[in-house]
Amino acid sequence: MALCLLVDDSSTQRKIMCKLAQGCGLEIEEAENGLKAVEFCENTMPDMIILDMNMPEMDGIGFLNALDDIPKDFSPHIIVCSADIDTDLIVKAVKAGADEYHCKSMDINNLRQKIAAYSG
């Protein structure tokens, strides 16, 4: 079973994403900010990361930059799911290592298909 790390400061968003990812057959771990996510990834590298951009302590870009510095045998598939649709931020996220960038208000079935495509 593939491991997915959900990184979002909103417990409500993590619950929504957790149900969605579990429905795709993923094992789920959660982190409420980028700093906690870095700590997790230093010990266990997930197969997939679903990442918010705007979080306290360490935001999504900070996490992506820190993730790049962690020694790893493979790079996880990273799906940014953020309410922020600023073009500059999207470009920064992709340049920092995000594979996909989706708006939180997007069609949930579309996001489910994206997660399922990389979950197994």
Give residue limits of the domains in the chain.
3-118
Please tell me the CATH superfamily of domain 3-118, with its number.
Answer: Response regulator (3.40.50.2300)
| pLDDT tens digits for range 38-91 | 999 999 999 999 999 999 999 999 999 999 999 889 999 999 988 888 889 899
Please tell me the distance from the alpha carbon of residue 100 to that of residue 11, in angstroms, as a whole number.
Answer: 22
In this prediction the pTM is 0.87
Q: How confident is the model at residue 106 (pLDDT cuts 50, 70, 90)?
A: low
Q: At what angle do helices 34-43 and 60-68 cross, to 10 degrees?
A: 20
Q: Look over the chain and give the mean of its residue pLDDT values, rounded to a whole number.
A: 89
- Eight-class DSSP state of 119: -
The amino acid present at 58, given as its one-letter code, is M
Decide: 5 and 37 in contact? Cβ < 8 Å: yes
Mean pLDDT of 17-27: 87
